[in-house]
């Protein structure tokens, strides 16, 4: 079988060389001319088409163009999307994402490589806008823009309300109708903006920033009527979300119908399902306020009456008591009780003084009994060496020929030491057994 293939191949090469070699010399192409011819052929033979594959090597340089590779299990093709089309993609292209691409085949002449010039790119299996919504929602949630701790309190009865919406849309008419019906003297300041289209997001963000800079309103209502996800997309953009988050004034988001949820709903201090519901919530009705004031007035009146009744009963009880019935008698009773207390106090003080005096006498007698003069009267004496301080307590305190002085109760004796006996007088005369 391989021999037959080789024979056919050789015959084809022989046929090409014999028939075409001579005629091809009449037109010799440069490389650029050949590339241009191939480009023209490819672009004419392949009309714009849809291609399915996996995207990789996504790059977005400062030019704003998108460069990528689209591939399947067997091969790959380089792709480009110019800035004008790339700026319309709502979601982030990420490596590994399955996509559908609509574009046309072309050739990059500088390298002679064919590529797909994309005009539309959609995620495979989910809508492009839904994917962009989920991507932005995840990003802002991770940054803390939905954190309940950042939510500001909505004022109960604002003096001025700022509204960011279309001046001609149904939303502003709904808001005006509700406010006129509930509280017509509330001041409403409208900052008109476009609420859909590419120009809408920066206008909405700028209107919120204007209200914060001017500080004219107490609360901001960002709203528009219902519509498709494309119609509501301005409220799913990052620039609007960040302007709401950065607002120092409380922001209420009321976009679309009750089933519609936008990124602005998650960031706002309060989400309300419809413009009408937002107007009803932001301003209490005059009737409701009157009813509430009347209720509080009646409650205050009832509590004041009860308090006065309690005071009246207490006063009546006191006036009927013995204190007020016989005031002079109560004063006499207390005066007598004071005299009784004075008598008790005087008696207690006298008894205490007598006790202290008796104890003092006993202590004085005891002190006198043990005084040196009493000891001298009982026959004791005190001897000391003249020229030395202190009384003699031991024979070691005296020497032969010392002049000593003996103190008696009625005078003193001066003598000279002629002998010192080392035997104790007490041991000698009062030893045990004698």
Q: Where are the alpha helices (DSSP H) in 20-127?
A: 21-24, 31-45, 83-86
What lies within 8 Å, CB to CB, of 221 at 6+ separation is 161, 162, 163, 164, 165, 175, 251, 252, 254, 275, 278, 279, 282
**Residue 390 φ/ψ, nearest 5 degrees:** 90, 155
Q: Is the model more confident about 3 or about 89?
A: 89
Question: What average pLDDT does this structure show over 372-397?
Answer: 77
Nearest by Cα to 384 from 370, 394, 374, 372: 394
Does the global pTM surpass 0.95? no
Are the C-beta atoms of 118 and 134 separated by less than 8 Å? no
- pLDDT computed for residue 241 by the predictor: 94
Q: Is the pLDDT of residue 243 over 90?
A: yes
- The pLDDT-based confidence of 433 (bands split at 50, 70, 90) is very low
- pLDDT computed for residue 85 by the predictor: 87
Question: What average pLDDT does this structure show over 54-66?
Answer: 86
**Residue 415 φ/ψ, nearest 5 degrees:** -145, 170
Question: Which DSSP string do the residues of 177-230 spell out, in sequence order?
Answer: HHHHHH-TTSEEEEEE---SSTTHHHHHHHHHHHHHHHT--SEEEEEE----TT
- pLDDT computed for residue 366 by the predictor: 77
Domains in the chain (CATH in brackets) are 132-284 (3.40.50.261), 375-430 (no CATH)
Helix (H, G, I), strand (E, B) or coil at 414: strand
Q: Is the pLDDT of residue 166 over 60?
A: yes
Are the C-beta atoms of 268 and 255 separated by less than 8 Å? no
């Amino acid at each position: 079988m391989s021999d037959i293939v080789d024979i056919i191949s050789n015959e084809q090469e022989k046929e090409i060389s014999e028939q075409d070699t001579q005629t091809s010399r009449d037109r010799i192409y440069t490389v650029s001319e050949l590339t241009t011819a191939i480009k023209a052929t490819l672009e004419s033979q392949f009309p714009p088409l849809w291609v399915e594959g996996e995207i990789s090597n996504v790059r977005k340089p400062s030019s704003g163009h998108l460069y990528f590779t689209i591939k399947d299990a067997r091969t790959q093709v380089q792709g480009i999307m110019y800035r004008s089309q790339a700026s319309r993609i709502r979601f982030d292209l990420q490596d590994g994402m399955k996509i559908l691409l609509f574009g046309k085949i072309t050739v990059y002449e500088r390298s002679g490589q064919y590529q797909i010039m994309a005009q539309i790119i959609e995620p495979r299996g989910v809508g492009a806008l839904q994917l962009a919504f989920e991507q932005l929602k995840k990003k802002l949630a991770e940054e803390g823009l939905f954190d309940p701790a950042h939510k500001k309190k909505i004022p109960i009865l604002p003096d001025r309300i700022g509204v960011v919406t279309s001046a001609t849309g149904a939303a502003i008419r709904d808001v005006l109708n509700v406010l006129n019906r509930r509280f017509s003297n509330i001041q409403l300041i409208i900052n008109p903006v476009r609420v859909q289209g590419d120009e809408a997001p920066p206008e909405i963000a700028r209107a919120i920033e204007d209200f914060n800079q001017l500080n004219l309103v107490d609360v901001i209502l960002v709203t528009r009527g219902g519509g498709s996800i494309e119609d509501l997309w301005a409220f799913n953009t990052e620039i609007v979300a960040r302007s709401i988050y950065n607002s120092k004034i409380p922001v209420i988001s009321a976009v679309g119908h009750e089933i519609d949820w936008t990124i602005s709903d998650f960031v706002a201090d309060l989400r309300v399902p419809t413009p009408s519901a937002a107007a009803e919530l932001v301003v209490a009705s005059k009737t409701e306020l009157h009813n509430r004031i009347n209720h509080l007035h009646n409650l205050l009146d009832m509590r004041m009456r009860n308090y006065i009744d309690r005071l009246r009963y207490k006063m009546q009880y006191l006036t009927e008591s013995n204190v007020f019935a016989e005031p002079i008698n109560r004063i006499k009773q207390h005066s007598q009780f004071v005299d009784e207390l004075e008598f008790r106090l005087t008696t207690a003080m006298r008894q205490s003084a007598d006790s202290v005096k008796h104890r003092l006498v006993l202590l004085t007698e005891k002190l006198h009994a043990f005084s040196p003069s009493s000891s001298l009267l009982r026959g004791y004496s005190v001897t000391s060496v003249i020229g030395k301080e202190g009384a003699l307590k031991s024979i070691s305190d005296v020497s032969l020929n010392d002049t000593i002085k003996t103190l008696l109760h009625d005078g003193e004796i001066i003598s000279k030491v002629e002998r010192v006996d080392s035997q104790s007088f007490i041991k000698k005369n009062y030893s045990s057994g004698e």
